Amino acid sequence: MIETAQAFGVDIGGSGIKAAPVNLEKGEFAEPRLKILTPEVSTPKAVGEIVRQQLEHFEVPESAPVGIAFPAPIHVGEKLGYMANLDQSWVGVDVTEVFSEACGRPVTVVNDADAAGLAEQQFGAAKGQDGLVVATTLGTGIGTALIFNGELIPNTELGHLELLKGKGDAEKYAASSIREKLDMGYKKWAKRLTKYYSLMEFYLDPQLFVVGGGVSRVSEKFLPYIDIKTPIVAAKLHNEAGIIGAAYYASTKQK
């Protein structure tokens, strides 16, 4: 692994598994990432094998913290309760244990939305922000991360808030995938997002909202039309956030 890297991050998704050494002084990749397609049958053994291959590819030393962003709530020492985007054989296993055994070393696993939020807090759009930051990812669903004074409050599922006036589950009403499915214009979509962010604003009174996900690259088309009082900004790290956040989180846990 290149000398400018202090940690290694992996971001596991339903379609691809991405990994890179991370420079934690700059909050960026120390080398270009390696992406390997997620196996069609994405069992713990199959996914663990790919992560091991990525560690070997980058020649990651035993001393380097390894962080893995994973698409499910993570509770250290507990078995996984449910799985949406990978094979159902993940249910009932200890995710950290699976990856530690596959990699032959200790690893730290964190929820993928939490990893992205941490990256934005430490290196991106929320850097230096005190108080409560709510980071959201708008994609197939709505992922959320809460960071208070730099400390992660893990495993929130605020994309499933019940909206007022019978609008139902927030992500089924306002996710980016819903906008695409309905071929909805960005300004009209922003009205739906206003309902969602207004509700979180009321319940949480945060200092800042950060909006991530692929759609954040065209944030000028909808962010100015979200009518709330709390400052709301686009994420800066985009698709790199999961890897960078996982590496950073591991660096705080593996000492």
What CATH number is given to the structural domain containing 131?
Answer: 3.30.420.40
Residues 147 and 82 in one domain: no
Q: Is residue 154 part of a domain?
A: yes
Same-domain check for residues 67 and 88: yes
Question: Three-state SS for 35?
Answer: strand
Domain shared by 146 and 222, yes or no: yes
Position 227 in a domain = yes
Asked if residue 202 is part of any domain, the answer here is yes
Residue 182, both tokens: 């309905």
Residue 53 has pLDDT above 80, yes or no: yes
- Whether 3 shows a pLDDT value over 90: the answer reads no
The domain of 216 spans: 124-234
Rounded distance between C-alpha atoms, residue 44 and residue 88, angstroms:
10
For the cut 90, the answer to whether the pLDDT of residue 15 exceeds it is no
Predicted confidence band at 238 (pLDDT cuts at 50, 70, 90)? Answer: confident
Task: Please check whether residues 186 and 141 belong to one and the same domain.
Answer: yes
Mean pLDDT of the chain, nearest integer: 94
Residue 119, domain member (yes or no): no
pLDDT given for residue 255 in this prediction: 64
49-56 contacts at long range (C-beta below 8 A, 24 or more positions apart)? 49/102, 50/17, 51/10, 51/12, 51/17, 51/19, 51/99, 51/102, 51/103, 52/102, 52/103, 52/104, 54/10, 54/17, 54/19, 55/8, 55/19, 55/103
In-domain check, residue 197 = yes
In 3-134, where does DSSP find H-type helix?
44-57, 95-103, 112-123
Q: Would you say residue 210 has pLDDT above 80?
A: yes
- What integer pLDDT is reported at residue 52 of this predicted model? 97
**How many distinct structural domains can be found in the chain?**
2
Do 93 and 142 sit in the same domain of this protein? Answer: no
Considering the domain architecture, whether residues 105 and 160 belong to the same structural domain is answered as: no
At residue 32, the 3 state secondary structure works out as coil
User: Residue 159 has what pLDDT?
Assistant: 93
Specify whether 208 is located in the same domain as 137: yes
158 in a domain, yes or no?
yes
Residue 166 neighbours by CB under 8 Å, 6+ apart? none
Q: Does any domain span residue 118?
A: no
**Cα dihedral 43, 101, 65, 80 sign:** positive
The verdict on residue 140 lying in a domain is: yes
**Domain identity same for 178 and 219:** yes
DSSP 217: G
Predicted confidence (pLDDT) at residue 112 exceeds the cutoff of 90: yes
Q: Which CA distances in Å does 216 have to 49, 221, 236?
A: 32, 9, 9
Q: DSSP 3-state assignment of 88? A: helix
Tell me, yes or no, whether 160 and 217 share the same domain.
Answer: yes
